[in-house]
């Protein structure tokens, strides 16, 4: 089935400067209806999850999807390290936003679950832009349900574990989604691996619960001692100890506030973008990533769009790694092709 043609006027806008045309992720084609997924058959679909009513400090992440989508002044054409053109190797669409009503966490989470499910059950990789971190609960659950529970490991980049039982009485807070994912059986605790934790929360009893679930985590202290490359190597091995597939969740506050001031709960002493971006790249190169979210970008606190740009590049590292793997797979297939078949072409 041939993919739809892009109208000439829209193509002209898409090929123009970054500030021209529809506000889709990196100016990819925007679609809105589920049947359009069948016509486009994309490799990756970007989804916005504009909900932040589960935050406990500075609000504003509901505006994150729009800010992250347009945080490119140079449309990514060629990944210099991987030597790949991600948007030439992959079909990427922007599938719009889950319709998240403000103030209603259950309906908002259901909207995210349904939107991500429409993508994941077709074998398309959802790239979800939050919103606060509570949206990882419906998003990762939808992916786990699509691929089969028990087959999904999680690599989670964050300053905070987000494994509290509740936060100010709210069991669906942005401080609780990882606990809910494990308790529900969507993701095995022993294959839930966290990178970048630091600071003064959560308390001891929460870490005791985490140990009981078999969770693994790598504090900033360990990253400082061993380096990000070794920590990522260990984290991948832990997340893949059983599961076949990986979901990546990135709370942008894993970065030091100097690099990501536009977030609700900044915590000094975090990662630099150079380490985070390469860490995401390595996870995507070494595993089969079937879903990813980047959350907690609050544009109102983001001077010079530093936070949104770093979040945008997190997704670009995923796309570029997927593109590089596809290109490598094509090369290997060509090498395996019999010499006679190549001669006959």
Q: What is the pLDDT tens value at each position of the chain, 345 positions in all?
A: 567 888 898 889 888 888 888 899 999 999 999 999 999 999 999 999 999 999 999 999 999 999 999 999 888 999 999 999 999 999 999 999 999 999 999 999 999 999 999 999 999 999 999 999 999 999 999 999 999 999 999 999 999 999 999 999 999 999 999 999 999 999 999 999 999 999 999 999 999 999 999 999 999 999 999 999 999 999 999 999 999 999 999 999 999 999 999 999 999 999 999 999 999 999 999 999 999 999 999 999 999 999 999 999 999 999 999 999 999 888 777 767 665 555 555
Q: What is the pTM of this model?
A: 0.95
Specify the pLDDT at position 146. Answer: 98
Burial class (CB in 10 A: 0-12, 13-18, 19+), 151: middle
Instruction: Name the one residue in this structure whose structure tokens are 């360990």.
Output: 222
Crossing angle of helices 136-147 and 105-120, rounded to 10°: 30
Specify the pLDDT at position 20. Answer: 86
Per-residue H/E/C for the chain: CCCCCCCHHHHHHHCCCCCCCCCCHHHCEECCCHHHHHHHCCCEEEEEECCCCCCCCCCCHHHHHHHHHCCCCCCCCCECCCCECHHHHCCEEEEEECCCCCCCHHHHHHHHHHHHHHHHCCCCEEEEEECCHHHHHHHHHHHHHHHCCCCEEEEEECCCCCCCCCECCECCCCCCHHHHHHHHCCCCHHHEEEEEECCCCCCHHHHHHHHHCCCEEEEHHHHHHHCHHHHHHHHHHHHCCCCCEEEEEEEHHHECCCCCCCCCCCCCCCECHHHHHHHHHHHHHHCCEEEEEEECCCHHHCHHHHHHHHHHHHHHHHHHHHHHHHHHHHHHHHHHCCHHHHHHC
Specify the pLDDT at position 312. Answer: 98
Domains of the chain: 8-344 (3.40.800.10)
């Amino acid at each position: 089935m041939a993919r739809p043609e892009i109208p000439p006027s829209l193509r002209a806008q898409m090929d123009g400067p970054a500030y021209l045309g529809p506000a889709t992720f990196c100016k990819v084609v925007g679609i809105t209806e589920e049947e359009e997924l069948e016509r486009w058959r994309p490799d990756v679909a970007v989804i916005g999850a504009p909900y932040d009513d589960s935050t406990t400090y500075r609000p504003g992440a509901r505006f994150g999807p729009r800010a992250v989508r347009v945080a490119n002044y140079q449309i990514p054409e060629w990944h210099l390290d991987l030597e790949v053109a991600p948007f030439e190797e992959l079909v990427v669409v922007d599938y719009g936003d889950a319709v998240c009503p403000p103030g209603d966490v259950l309906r908002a989470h259901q909207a995210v679950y349904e939107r991500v499910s429409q993508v994941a059950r077709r074998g398309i990789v959802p790239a979800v832009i939050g919103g606060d971190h509570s949206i990882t609960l419906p998003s990762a659950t939808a992916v786990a349900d699509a691929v089969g529970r028990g087959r999904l490991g999680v690599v989670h980049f964050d300053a905070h574990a987000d494994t509290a039982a509740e936060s100010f009485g709210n069991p669906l807070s942005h401080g609780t989604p990882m606990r809910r994912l494990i308790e529900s059986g969507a993701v095995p605790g022993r294959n839930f691996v966290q990178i970048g934790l630091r600071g003064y929360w959560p308390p001891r009893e929460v870490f005791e619960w985490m140990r009981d679930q078999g969770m693994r985590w790598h504090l900033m202290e360990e990253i400082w001692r061993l380096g990000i490359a070794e920590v990522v190597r260990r984290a991948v091995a832990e997340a893949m100890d059983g599961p076949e597939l990986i979901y990546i969740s990135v709370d942008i506050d894993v970065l030091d506030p100097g690099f990501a001031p536009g977030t609700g709960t900044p915590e000094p002493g975090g990662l630099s973008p150079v380490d985070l971006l390469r860490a995401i790249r390595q996870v995507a190169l070494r595993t089969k990533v079937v879903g990813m979210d980047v959350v907690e970008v609050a544009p109102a606190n983001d001077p010079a769009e530093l936070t949104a740009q770093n979040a945008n590049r997190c997704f670009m590292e995923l796309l570029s790694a997927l593109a590089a793997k596809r290109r490598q797979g094509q090369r290997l297939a060509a090498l395996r092709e019999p010499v006679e078949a190549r001669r006959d072409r």
